Amino acid sequence: MSVSMSRLHETTETEEPRWGVKVERENAHDPRRHRHHHRKRDRFRFLRVFVMSTFLIHAVVYGAIMAMLLLINLLAWNGMLWMMFPAVGWGAFLAIHGGLAYLTANAGVSNRMVDRAREPLPTPVFRKPNPNSPEGELSAIVLENLNKVDQMRAIGRNMRTPSARRNSLIAVGAIENTLLALEGNTDELPLAREFAGSFIEPAHRIFVEYDRLSQRDIQSAKALLQQVEQHDLPRITERAEQVHERVHRGTMIDLQVAREMLHLSDGE
């Protein structure tokens, strides 16, 4: 009895997915499954036929009457082509009728667009870099320090004076630009390590300690807070911009070499 129950359990576990797939395939070929889709797609058929038929009849009547008016105008010619007035006036209504027929004939376009928009998008495949590789280490450094940049920006927005807030946001922006310049540039991995450990870490510490002291309203710390606002924040901006230029120094050298080669070719 136990053997039969175990076999039944194994059969259920192994065959249930196949049953599910089988049912899906049978339903996929079942015409009743798409019955509502065909009904939705063909629900404009009567309207299309009616509007297009009336437009064709309208166009034939317009052509016949305009031809008759042109014949009358030429037979009773008095120096004026008066049949142009009814031709233009009636032609405007015929053009409106034709536009309506065109829109009705393409009424199913919106349904096709909706059906296509409802189709599931393929799941994007992201290649996660190896943390032990230079690319993975650089990505980890940039991501970790961008989080610190967000913390520093939040602290800077709450600084006491407008000048302090402005200097802090400028400094944070300079650090962020340097990190984004380092991103993906594995040749500058040693510089990224140095920038993160010797610069961003103490700068982040300055922001955190400043925020802590400013919230406690300590009288003896006001001079120190003022020095941070007036001297340390501009210094952080200056150092971050120097590192930013250092990152692009190789690119600037390559550009200068290319310019010199161009001038030499022009001289020859």
Low-confidence ranges of the chain (pLDDT < 50): 1-41, 110
Domain boundaries, the chain: 2-118, 134-263
Q: What is the pLDDT of residue 32?
A: 45
Q: State the pLDDT at residue 255.
A: 77
Q: How far apart are CA 58 and CA 155, in angstroms?
A: 73
CB 208 within 8 A of CB 138: no
CB atoms inside a 10 Å sphere around CB 244:
18
Residue 39: what pLDDT?
46
8 A C-beta contact, residue 144 and residue 170: no
pLDDT for position 218: 80
What pLDDT is stored for residue 65 in this prediction?
A: 94
Residue 2 has a pLDDT of 43
SS3 state of residue 107: coil
* pLDDT tens digits, 27-51: 444 444 444 444 444 556 677 778 8
Residues whose CB is less than 8 angstroms from the CB of residue 244 and which lie 6 or more positions away in sequence, other chains included: 174, 177, 178, 181
Q: How many residues does the chain have?
A: 268
Q: How far apart are CA 112 and CA 158, in angstroms?
A: 52
Confirm if 248 and 182 have CB atoms less than 8 A apart.
no
Residue 175 is predicted with a pLDDT of: 93
